Structure 1
C-alpha cells in the first residue's frame, strides 16, 4: 500500500491523479484550500478503493504551516512514499504588466510556495532514503514568451529548482519528477479557445501516473510537447523577438 500526499488536491489534474491512486489502493492525504471540495473528493476516493483518505485545509501562502501540514500527513498515513505538488494559478499577463504587486503575488503562488514545500519535503525524504516527489511545472517555463512570461518565469524557477533537487536526492534513492504539461482543458482554462494541441486533464493524469511508475525525471505531457518545446527553444533570439508567441 502506497502512502501518498497531494498538495493542491482539488485542481483538475490532481483530482484525476487522485482517482488513479485510489483505484490502486493508496492511502491518501489531500491538502487544498476548500474544505467543501476536499470532502467531496475524499468521499469519491473512498468509493474508488482508497485504503484511507485524510484531508487538511491550507492556503499555500501560509508558509508557517508548511512543516506542520507535512508532519500531520506523515502521522495520518504513518509515513510517506509519494508526494504530488499540483497547486497554482494562471495569471493575467496584461494585468501583471501593469502591476508589480500582482506580478510578485503570482510569482509567489506559482514558485516560492512550491520551493518552500519542497525544501521541507526534501529533508524528510533524504532522511528516509526513498520515495518520490512529483511537481507539476509547465512547458511555459522552458522559454520566456511575451504572452505568459510571468507564469513562465515562475514555472521556470520551479523547474531549475527541481533539477538541482533531483541531482541532490538521487544519491539518497529519492526520485524527483518534473511534470511539464502543455495546454490542458481544465476549469482554469475554460475561457481559452481549444485546438488540436489541447489535452484533457484525465489524459494528462494518466501520463503523469505512467511517469511516476516509470521513475522518469522529466515528463512532458502529452509527450509531443517535448518536441514542440525543443523547436521553440532552438529559435535564435534575433528571430524569436519578432514572433508573437
Structure 2
C-alpha cells in the first residue's frame, strides 16, 4: 500500500486527508465525502479492524484509502502518520474527530477520568497537530479541521469537564490558525450541536439532533469557503449566543 501512497493514480487529486478518530459516524461521513471528490484518505484510529473494513469498502468503490493506527493517549502512534504523509505529494490536510465524554456523574465519582477526557478531546490531538504543522508550512498549503463542541462555549453542570477540554481545544485551534495562515494553510474550528453519534446515545435532554451526513456537508462547505469557525447546524450559533449571555447569577441555578 505504501507504493500506492507515493504514486497516486492520475485520477486522484494531489490532496490527502488524515482523518483522526475515523471510526466515529461524523468522521466516516466526512471521509466518504472527501474521498468521493478524489482525495486520498488516511483513516486513523484505535480500532484497526473497523478501520480496515472501512478502507476496504472505500477501495471497492474506486476510492483511495488506507487504515493506520492512532491513539490520542499514545504519542508513539503519531510519528508513523507524519512519516507516511511526508511520502505523499501534494496538499496534506487533517480532520480531528477525536474525543471522549464520560458522564459527568461518573467523573464526579472517579476524578481520574478527567485525564483521559482531556487527552482524547484536547491534549492528544493538539500534540499531533504540533507535529503536522511544519509539514503544512513546508508545503505552503493545507487545512486542519478541528471538531470541538458547543459544550465548550460555556461550562454547564451536565458536562463541564468535557466542555472545558473542548474549550481548550478551540483556543488551541485559534492560535494554530494564526500560525498556519502565515504559511498558506488554514484551520477551521467546528462546533457541532447534538449529533446522532455513539457519544450521544442515551443522553437525556437531546433536541434538534443532526445527522452525521449533515455535519460532514457543513464541514466540507466550510473548508472550501475557508471559514474560520462554524456551528453546525447553523442555528446553534444563535442558541449558544443566548446561552453565553445569560447572567451568571441566573445561569448557575439552571440545569441546561
Compute the TM-score of the two structures, normalised by the length of structure 2.
0.90
How far the C-alpha of 1:238 sits from its partner, in A, is 1.2
Assess if the C-alpha contact under 8 Å between 1:81 and 1:132 holds in 2.
Answer: yes
In the other structure, the counterpart of 2:35 is: 22
Q: Which runs of 5+ in 1 are unaligned?
A: none
The CA deviation string for residues 25-68 of structure 1, in whole angstroms up to 9 with x for no partner, is 11111111111111111122223342x21221232211133123
Q: Distance in 2 between matches of 1:8 and 1:70?
A: 16
How far the C-alpha of 1:194 sits from its partner, in A, is 7.1
How far the C-alpha of 1:224 sits from its partner, in A, is 0.5
Assess if the C-alpha contact under 8 Å between 2:194 and 2:207 holds in 1.
Answer: no
The CA deviation string for residues 176-220 of structure 1, in whole angstroms up to 9 with x for no partner, is 010100000112222135754111111111111111111111111
Assess if the C-alpha contact under 8 Å between 2:91 and 2:139 holds in 1.
Answer: no
Q: Distance in 2 between matches of 1:118 and 1:216?
A: 19
Assess if the C-alpha contact under 8 Å between 1:137 and 1:178 holds in 2.
Answer: yes
Q: Distance in 2 between matches of 1:48 and 1:20?
A: 12
In the other structure, the counterpart of 1:5 is: 18
In the other structure, the counterpart of 1:73 is: 85
Assess if the C-alpha contact under 8 Å between 2:72 and 2:119 holds in 1.
Answer: no
Assess if the C-alpha contact under 8 Å between 1:25 and 1:49 holds in 2.
Answer: no
Q: Trace 1:86-235 onto structure 2 (pairs within 5 A).
A: 86-193=97-204, 196-235=207-246
Q: Distance in 2 between matches of 1:147 and 1:196?
A: 15
Q: Distance in 1 between matches of 2:129 and 2:40?
A: 21
SS at match of 2:182: helix
In the other structure, the counterpart of 2:70 is: 58
Q: Distance in 2 between matches of 1:152 and 1:33?
A: 23
Is residue 45 from structure 1 mapped to residue 32 from structure 2 by the alignment? no
Equivalent residue pairs, number: 243
Change (3 A) 1:228 1:217: same
SS at match of 2:112: helix
How far the C-alpha of 1:173 sits from its partner, in A, is 1.2
How far the C-alpha of 1:144 sits from its partner, in A, is 0.6
Q: Distance in 2 between matches of 1:171 and 1:111?
A: 23
The CA deviation string for residues 116-166 of structure 1, in whole angstroms up to 9 with x for no partner, is 011111122122221101111111111111110000000000000111111
Q: Distance in 2 between matches of 1:95 and 1:193?
A: 15
The CA deviation string for residues 54-92 of structure 1, in whole angstroms up to 9 with x for no partner, is 2212322111331232212332x3354311111111211
Assess if the C-alpha contact under 8 Å between 1:33 and 1:59 holds in 2.
Answer: yes
Structure 1 moving runs of 4+ over 3 Å:
77-80, 193-196
CA-based RMSD of the aligned residues comes to 1.5
